[in-house]
Amino acid sequence: MNEQRSSRNDATSRRAPLAIARAYAMRYLFAALAVLGLSAGACEAHPWRVVILPGADSSQPAAQEQVRAIRSAISAAAPDGVEFYTDPLDDLRFDAADLMPSFLALMKRKYEHRPVDIVIGLGDFALDFTKQYHDEIWPAAPVVISSVGDSRQHDIPSGFIYVPMHFDLDGTLALAETLQPKARRLVVVSGAANVDLRAAQRAADTARARKSHPWTVDEWSGLTVAELQRRLAALERDTAVLYTTMYRDRNGRTYFPYDVVAPMAKSSGAPIYGWYPTYLGHGLAAGSVASVETNGRVVGELARSILLGKAPRQDAMASSGASRCVADVGVIERLGLRADLLPEGCELIDVPPTLWREYRIVVLIAVAVVLLQALTIAALLWERRQRRIAEDKATERLGELTRAGRFALAGELSASIAHEVGQPLGAILSNADAAGLMLRDEPEVGELHSILGDIRRDALRANQVVQRLRALLQKHTVKLNPLDLNSTFDEALALLNLEARRRRIVIESHLAAIDTLVLGDRVQLQQVLLNLAINAMDAMEDTPAANRIVSISTRVAGQGYELSVADCGHGIPVGTGPRLFDSLYTTKPHGMGLGLSIVRTIVMTHGGHVSASAREGGGSLFKVWLPSLPKRAMAGARLELDKRAEKATFETRPEPQGGHP
């Protein structure tokens, strides 16, 4: 094996001068073609050819994000498209010395007949490889280097373009000192690969050099994951852990560095800090992290500017931005640390969902709204109380007003009532005189019984008139009960017929044949009909006797019932329609202007409405609409009304004429 390797090395050493000579020849050839304008690009446009050399496995999340940002930035301005070639050599997990000859041979063959426009190297391996083999593989192509530590900036060859990526060790240590001000022990965890050891050494040196917070530093390098878990589990919270990278442990097992964070955090009794963004979300407590996406975008934009001729092809430099503080609140609080100690502007992730933390503004607004609502409710309750007092007073005044209106009606009906009562009283007197004369002689018992029956009938007739008038005039509390509109109006018609006969007016009533059940006050609804009917009679004072007709009817109208009162009088004067129902407005010479106002108030109290219009052929027409009783209450209301009617019939039933029952 050693002899074979030696022979290969000898062959390689013999070919090296030839390769170098050929590279220089090609370099001068391209330069000459560029001077003469005869290069392939001068004759025919071709897509940009961009080689990307990740220094680690390109499937790592950080590498993927960085390469994706580079490709996106370059593709955005390519006039003829871009051909990307990605050639990673994962020297972080493999022995690059053993792989280098084969990798170098492959790269030379791949690009031997494919000119490249620019080479982008990411990481320490890319820097070392391009520094040594650039002229052999991509002569005359500019090289952009990024993702190497600040300590290797002096290794960048002259002519290379450099985009530094700052790993903020001091910022990360400052976060640990802020969250753990009493901690003095720092454990630096890393793997056994060269890059792991370099990062661990730099972290330890930086921590020991901090004068504001002296640390006692322990370096744990190359431990297996199981060993790390055992050691981390024994740590107290007065110790801080700084994790750099772990690509390989001392047993040769390889990892992606972010894969180790979760098992470490699961066992560790102390918080873990780091400066790579891919560690976040796996158990890292906090860190001052650099954005690989921002770095990739800056690298891609710089490469794009070089390809467009807007930036120099050599010794250019661009900044990829500062690191930023990021902290995992869930991890911090689980370890008993205070997240409120973090510096202002620190980005918080994995914040446990609490009402105050998640919805602070909403909570403040809600509290303010509740307080405003409480004040509003208190004001509304006070206003409601004042309104109720005012409504009670208004109801009392309305009751007094309607009762005054009924007294006014009684005054207008007094003549007809007196006549109606006088007739049965006169008949009673005549029958009493006849009975007295009969008692002087031998009376006939049958005749006396007949006389007594007439007296009783006439007394009941007079009593009914007085009772109707008394019910109309007595003071009572308004109560809305289920009632039959037709039977209510029948009682009022009994009083109206007396007045109509006195005035020689004919009342035509056409009440609906079906049950007209409403929720209302019997006395007030009777007052509505009496007011409208008396107004109709007053309007026909100058009407010829043959035409003195008042039509009263009820009918079903939508979800309620309509009362119509029509007359053949002088009608409604022009221009008085809108004011007809106003208080104290009247068209009568001796009117008070209360009748129609009371009608409107009563109807509105019952949930209805009233209107007036001219009648065809002369006269006026008043319509009152009242809502019907809900269907679900119809059956119960009908039963209750039947019981009331039966009770009233029993109470007013006359005694038998034969004497005592």
pLDDT in tens, 68-126: 999 999 999 899 999 999 988 666 666 667 788 888 899 999 999 889 999 999 988 88
**What gap in Å lies between CA 490 and CA 634, rounded to an integer?**
21
CA dist 601 and 622 (Å) reads: 15
- What's the pLDDT score for residue 2? 38
Query: Is pLDDT at 183 greater than 90 in this prediction?
Result: yes
Q: Span 543-571, mean pLDDT?
A: 89
Three-class secondary structure of residue 490 per DSSP: helix
The SS3 of residue 253 is coil
Question: What strand order describes the sheet that includes 609-614?
Answer: 506-510, 549-557, 560-566, 620-627, 609-614
**What's the sign of the alpha-carbon dihedral 436, 442, 447, 448?**
positive
* Model pLDDT, residue 99: 80
406-421 mean pLDDT: 57
Average pLDDT over residues 549-562: 91
* 3-state SS class at 219: strand
Of the candidates 423, 436, 500, the one whose C-alpha atom is nearest the C-alpha of residue 462 is 423
Read off φ and ψ for residue 277, nearest 5 degrees.
Answer: -65, -25
The arithmetic mean of pLDDT across residues 559-570, rounded, is: 90
209 against 570, higher pLDDT: 209
- Statement: residue 653 has pLDDT above 60: no
pLDDT at 36 over 50: no
Q: What is the three-state SS of 21-69?
A: HHHHHHHHHHHHHHHHCCCHHHHCCCCEEEEEEECCCCCCHHHHHHHHH
Give 267-324 pLDDT, tens digit per residue: 999 999 999 888 999 999 999 998 888 889 999 999 999 999 988 887 777 777 788 9
User: pTM of the full predicted structure?
Assistant: 0.50
Provide mean pLDDT across the span 122-151: 88
Average pLDDT over residues 420-438: 63
Q: Is 636 helix (H, G, I), strand (E, B) or coil?
A: helix
At residue 330, φ and ψ (nearest 5 deg) are -60, -45
pLDDT at 172: 95
Which pair of structure tokens corresponds to residue 195? Answer: 């890059």
pLDDT of residue 660: 34
DSSP class of residue 93?
T
pLDDT > 70 fraction of the chain, expressed in percent and rounded = 73
Q: Is the pLDDT of residue 374 over 90?
A: yes
Q: What is the mean pLDDT of residues 139-161?
A: 86
Question: What is the pLDDT averaged over residues 605-626?
Answer: 89
* Residues 326, 280 contacting (CB under 8 angstroms): yes
Q: CA 244, CA 227: separation in Å to the nearest integer?
A: 17
Question: Which DSSP letter does residue 617 get?
Answer: T
Q: In angstroms, rounded to a whole number, what is the distance separating the alpha carbons of residues 46 and 657?
A: 131
Q: Picking from 280-289, 449-458, 532-541, 594-603, which range would have the lowest pLDDT averaged per residue?
A: 449-458
569: left (phi over 0), alpha (psi -120 to 50) or beta: beta
pLDDT given at position 35: 38
Nearest 5°: CA angle at 486, between 625 and 552?
Answer: 65
| Joined tokens for residue 509 | 């009533």
Please report, as a single letter, which amino acid is at residue 218.
Answer: D
213-238: per-residue pLDDT in tens? 989 999 999 999 999 999 999 999 89
Instruction: List all residues 6 or more positions away from 595 whose beta carbon is below 8 Å from its beta carbon.
Output: 405, 408, 531, 534, 535
Q: d(Cα 235, Cα 271) in Å, to the nearest integer?
A: 10
Calpha distance 53→85 (Å, rounded): 8
- Written as one letter, the residue type at 660 is H
What ranges in 117-274 are assigned the alpha helix state H? Answer: 124-137, 169-179, 194-208, 225-233, 257-267
Q: Which two tokens stand for residue 244?
A: 């750099």
Phi, psi dihedral angles at 338 (to 5 degrees): -105, 115
Q: Which residues pair with 218 in a beta bridge?
A: 187
Share of the chain above pLDDT 90, in %: 34
Query: What's the rounded Cα separation, in Å, for the pair 272 and 337?
Result: 12
Instruction: Give the model's pLDDT for residue 515.
Output: 77
pLDDT band at 368; cut points 50, 70, 90: very high
226 or 422, which is more confident: 226
Q: What is the mean pLDDT of the chain?
A: 80
pLDDT at 444 over 80: no
pLDDT of residue 42: 40
Catalogue all structural domains in the chain, each as residue range(s) with its CATH number.
44-165+291-320 (3.40.50.2300), 169-289+322-352 (3.40.50.2300), 478-654 (3.30.565.10)
In the three-class reduction of DSSP (H, G, I as helix; E, B as strand; rest coil), residue 442 is classed as: coil
pLDDT class of 581 with cuts at 50, 70, 90 = confident
